[in-house]
Amino acid sequence: MRWLPVLYVAGLLLLEPITPVEWPVSFALIALPLVTAFAHPPVVVAGTTVFAIGLELLLAGTACCAGRSVGYLWERHYVAAYACTALVGALGTILAAHRTRRERTLADVRFVAEIAQRVLLRPVPHRIGNLLLESFYLSAAAEARIGGDLFEAVPTAYGVRLLIGDVRGKGLLAVETAAAMLGAFREAAHDEPDLRALVERVDISMTRRADRLGGTELGERFVTAVFAEVPGDERVVRMVNCGHPPPLLIRPGEVRELDRGQPGPPLNLGMLVGDPYRVEAYPFGPGDQLLLYTDGVTETRDPAGSFYPLLQRLRSWGPMPPPDLLERLHQDLLAYSHDQLQDDTAALTAFLLPEGAAETTVSSQDDANAEEFGEPLP
């Protein structure tokens, strides 16, 4: 867009010599200030207006040299063109000033949104004990930075506890709900020794918040989620599925869903449905990888409307380290949808290292994250 005024003038100058004198192409220079206002500041638009009037005079003078009288330069239609160029230039300068203010406001809002996301969805540590962790978040809106998808990993005395969730709905209410749920999980994860008790405590917090908000949409303010726990002294992963897409277990030669067909109700709907939350345990040994994801992954569509085949893709790729796996998934989702994501998407993966690599190390990025949020390193 910044080069559009230059291309516009170049096109007119190429047309001018090949058109009859009776067809003054220079009149099209009236629009040059408006074209400039699309991508340039007010000062440039004002300068372009002066340039356009000068170029109009020059082209009219050239026409005089082609055999017309000197008075041709000041005929009424030419004077009207100069006046119209000046008027459009003034309006274009005002438009450019307004556009510049809007761009600054948008930049400020995006900056605040990025800070909010760092607080709400802060990066998970790349390593906790013998677990390698990685996460990513994709927004369906190009200008959005935060939404209703959430994830977290917390080292506790009972093992590493993982959470991924998807708030029903969009907008500010979804962001507020996600923030409330993450706050409840981060607090309760350290206090509750039993995973089901942890889920029930978070559910109580979400129900209490929904009651406080009131309104007619009480039954619709629910969150689907998966709570997972990887104990440090056992080779299992315990999970509670609250109406969420089932996690995937990835190991050499095998990719399968961890789903026994008995998911619990979404959070804030347990009291309406009446089903209890169930803790399920699955073998999880060194070299195994757990992939948690939101439905934005599996509901991604190609231009023909077909859903993203997550299991087929993972089986064709084979085992990968967590950063490589999520980067591959990230790029594949964008390519599959032709950059037309319809829903927010989040994923969290955890890879269990062999025994010999179990010493706790944290990357320099984790040091920076911990220092920023004032938390001790695991």
Give the end of a domain, one of 92, 113, 134.
113
Per the CB < 8 A criterion, the answer to whether 328 and 99 are in contact is no
Q: Are residues 90 and 140 in the same domain?
A: no
Residue-wise pLDDT for 128-179, tens only, equals 989 999 998 887 655 555 667 899 999 999 999 999 999 877 667 777 888 8
pTM, full prediction? 0.69
Residue 66: pLDDT band (50, 70, 90) is: low
Q: Which sign, positive or negative, has the C-alpha torsion 90, 96, 30, 10?
A: positive
CA 232 to chain centroid, in Å, comes to: 33
Instruction: Specify if 185 maps to a domain.
Output: yes
3-state DSSP helix/strand/coil % of the chain, to nearest 5: 50, 20, 30
Q: Are residues 290 and 234 in the same domain?
A: yes
Compare 57 and 114 and report the one with higher pLDDT: 57
Distance from C-alpha of 50 to C-alpha of 48, rounded to nearest angstrom: 5
Residue-wise pLDDT for 223-268, tens only, equals 999 999 999 888 999 999 999 999 999 998 899 999 888 788 888 8
Give the end of a domain, one of 59, 90, 113.
113
Instruction: Specify if 378 maps to a domain.
Output: no
Q: Domain range for residue 160?
A: 121-373
Q: What six digits make up the tokens of 85?
A: 């160029």
Q: Is 159 left (phi over 0), alpha (psi -120 to 50) or beta?
A: left
Can you give the length of the chain in residues?
A: 378
List residues bridging with 319 in a β-sheet. none
Query: CATH number, domain at 222?
Result: 3.60.40.10
CA 66 to chain centroid, in Å, comes to: 60
Distance from C-alpha of 60 to C-alpha of 68, rounded to nearest angstrom: 10
Distance from C-alpha of 298 to C-alpha of 247, rounded to nearest angstrom: 12
Q: Are residues 11 and 41 in the same domain?
A: yes
Q: Are residues 8 and 143 in the same domain?
A: no
SS3 356: helix
SS3 253: coil
Q: Are residues 212 and 359 in the same domain?
A: yes
Q: Are residues 130 and 159 in the same domain?
A: yes
